[in-house]
Structure 1
Amino acid sequence: MRDNTPRALAKVPALTFGFWVIKVLATTLGETGGDTVSMSLGLGYAVGTVIFMAVFLLAVAAQIRTSRFRPALYWLTVIASTTVGTTLADFADRSLGIGYTGGSTLLLGLLLATLFTWHRTLGSIDIGTVASPRAEGFYWLTIMCSQTLGTALGDWTADSAGMGYLGAAAVFGGVLLLVAAAWHWSPISRGTLFWTAFVLTRPLGAVVGDFLDKPLDHGGLAVSRYGASVVLLVAIGVCVAVFPQRAAARPH
């Protein structure tokens, strides 16, 4: 008999088309929102990181305390992770002078170390197992590392590699299509493919966000960061309401 009780469900969403649409919108908002606080408001990367980190930690604490998957709380936590990822990566790359290449390499190492520790500790990085405080702790730490890495990787591709915002968006979009194809037609583990896609949606959102709000002479559209952030936030709210939101099934 199929188990439909809450105990059979994880506290994170199932991987649907809507999940990925909202994820890309959230990562784009993370870029424009992070830049709004650190640049438009003039608070700087360090102060912006402290503010968004506090919001992120509070959201994670609320997420862990809840007994089931709550879409609004989940996506609020994801948005908080994208904004802190933006300011934290910019602080490391620019304020500390590590640079995009050094920052991306360092953050990739942190992400891989987190995933390795998670797997060694709990035996699986499958999102369906995210139902206990320990698993949730690893899950959100991995997400924060992936969001920060994605910001640095997007900046490196657009700036250091000289591809520009649209060129970088095309590259990350193309690689995501390859990951989607591998999901359907390759034997690669679902956990590996999920986290690969999760990481890659961040630089995609980052370069799209930069394309929207950067000055015209820097290859952007010079759209108001405030306006872009509000529009993206409304779009996320509409998508959460329109797309079916259900918890991921726990593996049996």
Structure 2
Amino acid sequence: MRKLPHVTVLFWALKIVATTLGETGGDLLAQTLHVGYLVSTAVFLAAFVVSVVVQLKAGRFHPAVFWTVIALSSTAGTTVSDLMNRTGGIGYTGGAAILSTGLIVVFIVWWRSGQTLDVENVATLRGELLFWLAILFSNSLGTSSGDFLADSLGIGFRDSAIALTAVMLALLAAHRFTRINGMILFWIAFILTRPLGATLGDFLSKPHDHGGLAWGTTWTSATLLATLIALIAYQTIHIRRHPLAPLPPPVHRRTGAAQTPNGDLLAVG
């Protein structure tokens, strides 16, 4: 059965809401509640690992489980990034460089493993593990890159969010009207939703003297959580009425051989 969702407008709406919640939720625990980045990172990483295990053991796509993992990877990414950049003194530029390198390494390993990078058709345990590792790195990178745009480059939270939205629309146009590889466009857009969520979350929650709307992390997080739950409920009802089509048999991308669900190649002949 299919473990990951189809990429639709609803998918992107859920991703943006979940990543925005990740930014404000991480700040809520670490800053507003004064728990600190180190303890918050430990809490969110532990919750992320538990949710990933539940997702991996699931026999099919469950919207509540999948989007819980996405949201927790975003909150963990927020505190991991802030722990590196602020407590560790690396800075936004250094943090973005380190996390970008880590994400590139994950994609290289993924590519060389022979597993498909087409999210809709990930059908093996190995492929799903690589997918979630890429998610964790990309969501950590999103906070650093969002802070880099807003603070280091001085663009500000609102204008950074507007600029990233414009890039997302350009990617949509490229998908519709050009022959650029759709998988490449997907991953660029997927990665950019995280800095978009980071800057949007900061714009909503930060005080006026920091360029925000001063909603605060508590009210912003509560609003985003309610929105996320409503969208998940809608997706759950929709899938019950229109079940996802079963996955095609997994095939090793480089060899063309069939694979078992854990990613091993099947013998031929």
TM-score (norm 2): 0.87
- Cα deviations by residue, 1:1-51 (Å, 9 ceiling, x for unpaired): xxxxx3xxx311100100101111111100110000000111111111100
Work out the percentage of aligned pairs sharing the same amino acid. Answer: 43
8 Å Cα contact 2:203/2:212 also seen in 1: yes
8 Å Cα contact 1:22/1:239 also seen in 2: yes
> Is 96-105 or 185-194 further displaced after alignment?
185-194
Measured after TM superposition, the shift of residue 122 of structure 1 is 2.5
Measured after TM superposition, the shift of residue 188 of structure 1 is 2.3
Matched letter for residue 28 of structure 1: T
Match of 2:264 in 1: none
Measured after TM superposition, the shift of residue 249 of structure 1 is 6.3
- Structure 1 CA distance for aligned equivalents of residues 43 and 68 of structure 2: 15
Higher relative contact order (CA 8 A, sep 6+): 1
Q: CA RMSD in A?
A: 1.5
> Is 76-85 or 239-248 further displaced after alignment?
239-248
Measured after TM superposition, the shift of residue 241 of structure 1 is 2.1
Match of 2:158 in 1: 166
- Structure 2 CA distance for aligned equivalents of residues 224 and 137 of structure 1: 35
Pair 1:224 & 2:216 matched: yes
Show the 5 A alignment for 1:142-161: 142-161=134-153
- Structure 2 CA distance for aligned equivalents of residues 120 and 220 of structure 1: 43
Match of 1:3 in 2: none
Match of 1:206 in 2: 198
Is the alpha carbon distance of 1:113 and 1:29 closer, same or farther for their aligned partners in structure 2, counting shifts above 3 Å?
same
8 Å Cα contact 1:128/1:251 also seen in 2: no
Match of 2:261 in 1: none
- Cα deviations by residue, 1:100-148 (Å, 9 ceiling, x for unpaired): 1111111111111101101111342111332221111100000011101
1:36 corresponds to which of 12, 28, 48: 28
- Structure 2 CA distance for aligned equivalents of residues 219 and 156 of structure 1: 15
- Structure 2 CA distance for aligned equivalents of residues 174 and 54 of structure 1: 35
Which is higher, the Rg of structure 1 or of structure 2? Answer: 2
TM-score (norm 1): 0.92
| Number of residue pairs matched by the alignment | 244
Please list every run of 5 or more consecutive structure 2 residues that lacks an aligned counterpart in the other structure.
250-269
Q: Counterpart of 2:23 in 1: which secondary structure?
A: helix
Identify, as 1 or 2, the structure richer in helix. Answer: 1
Q: Counterpart of 1:67 in 2: which secondary structure?
A: coil
Q: Counterpart of 2:3 in 1: which secondary structure?
A: strand
Please list every run of 5 or more consecutive structure 1 residues that lacks an aligned counterpart in the other structure.
1-5
- Structure 2 CA distance for aligned equivalents of residues 171 and 247 of structure 1: 34
Matched letter for residue 118 of structure 1: W
Pair 1:116 & 2:116 matched: no
Measured after TM superposition, the shift of residue 165 of structure 1 is 0.7
Measured after TM superposition, the shift of residue 247 of structure 1 is 4.5
Pair 1:83 & 2:75 matched: yes
Measured after TM superposition, the shift of residue 215 of structure 1 is 1.4
Match of 2:131 in 1: 139
- Structure 1 CA distance for aligned equivalents of residues 185 and 17 of structure 2: 20
- Structure 2 CA distance for aligned equivalents of residues 214 and 60 of structure 1: 31
Matched letter for residue 215 of structure 1: P
Match of 1:180 in 2: 172
Is the alpha carbon distance of 1:248 and 1:207 closer, same or farther for their aligned partners in structure 2, counting shifts above 3 Å?
farther
Measured after TM superposition, the shift of residue 71 of structure 1 is 0.6
